[in-house]
Structure 1
Amino acid sequence: MHHVFDLFSDVDSNYGNFSKEKFVCWYAEDESIRNCVEKIDYYELSGQDTIAFFDLRRQPIDGVYRSLILDEQKGLILSRQSSKQIQNTVYDKTSIGKKVFQDFIKNNLKYQYRHCLSFGYVAFFFKHGITQGSDCISLHKVKDVEFDMKQNQCHFQTLGMKHNLTITFTDINENLPKRIEESIIHNQVVSNSLSHHLEHISLKCMPAYKSVLDAILFNEEWITKTPGKVHLAEVAHEIVDIMLNALVETIQKEVNWLDHQEHIRRVKRMLKDQ
């Protein structure tokens, strides 16, 4: 853990909870904060190290840095990229992250919006949704969430800090609690789908972090609309079928087996028998 986070998590510190708005003020007024910041042109979103990132397009730091990142290893980072560009560094890297897969789950859950990029044990929540530049928090690094609707704020208490580091989203929409809830459920469906698929090939998923992503499993009070297990299982089976079909299509294209239907049928049987 980078030492700079002790400033925002130590109860004796002069800084307190971390928010984008506070950082902008600290950066302008406090040289010690400016000296802690790494400035780069390119940042790649990391499930292991990214704690959160913030959209600064409306008030770029030093006129050029459009995103602020909290990275577990590197500390505070300012990037010339927009938050949308940072999001895109991971969005299409795997089949799981592709829009068609993520939206398929959203549509099956009958959600109107998608605020989460879900990978099962890693999930990124976007304050303003997945389709535009937005502040983002790594839900797998959050152990608790508190909503202060009177102040229009949401407080995320993070995992793995020496003290409790709390990251605050300000100016939130009244629907944000619902969107976080939907995002946790969306991610749970991805996790169930992957677990189901891996069990078919005799593999097991790693245990989940003890983060808010597990809230659905422990019936946390603010998770009010947990879908039935049967529904999740049905969605998982349908997703696995799509994954199998996609795999066979890839084999057809890469190995040029288009004219060898018997081989294709054999591959399908082998996959389904796993």
Structure 2
Amino acid sequence: MTATAPAERSKPAQRQADIAEYVVSQGSVSATDLAEQFGVSLMTIHRDLDELERQGVVRKHRGGVSAQPSSVFESNVSFRLRATLTEKQALAAHARTLVEPGMAVMLDDSTSTLELAKLLVEGIAPLTVVTNFLETIKLLAGRPGIRLLALGGEYHPTHDSFLGVPCIEAVEALRVDLLFASTSALAHGYAYHQEQEIVLVKRAMMHAAQRSVLLADHTKLGRVALHRLAPLRDFDLVLTDNKASDQALAEMRELGVRHEVVT
């Protein structure tokens, strides 16, 4: 009995991990479908979803659950790593042309800039890269020609990054040539994000950079979130993809936001 107890205790945790993976792959799913998919009761599914919501992996809504962002909920990094990947890669390829050897470049904790980091691993040495995103840190650590500065702080598993006062203070002690950043929503001439801690770090990064470039695929345009990050005109350049709506592009033109559409 003693030998089987740990395995028994691990079952809910394993099921919750499997549920999280399934929801992330589907984007949104009903609680009934989850109960059928995993062969458990609706009551059990709701308990599992309550725990996953507490962890910030998903958000519950009437009748179901979603990994997709809302105005107050930033999706988990696992979902963001999968979302609009082709568009993010196109934005990253264009952003790569702005980077020159000898530069100091700061990358925020977005999955858009992670795609850019993948393009920096060779061909632009020497290069200094500053980031608070653990995925980017692991990617660039030990790469020849790259001097890596990892920004510390409190680790947030939902974002797989370091945030908080220590991170902001580390950013404020630096001055870089270029910042590449992304955010979850752009509308009415402003960039928005759901979480205050993320906003504060991104603002500090903007102040630490001589030039700031915002990478925003078309799914982020015309959306707002709880916290206003900064006017889009505070960015030297906004990059979006060719699926951006005519309305969103016209709005940026009217507001004098410098932007480019990447094909």
**Which structure has the highest strand share of the two?**
2
TM-score range, shorter chain: 0.3 to 0.5
* Larger-Rg structure: 1
TM-score (norm 1): 0.31
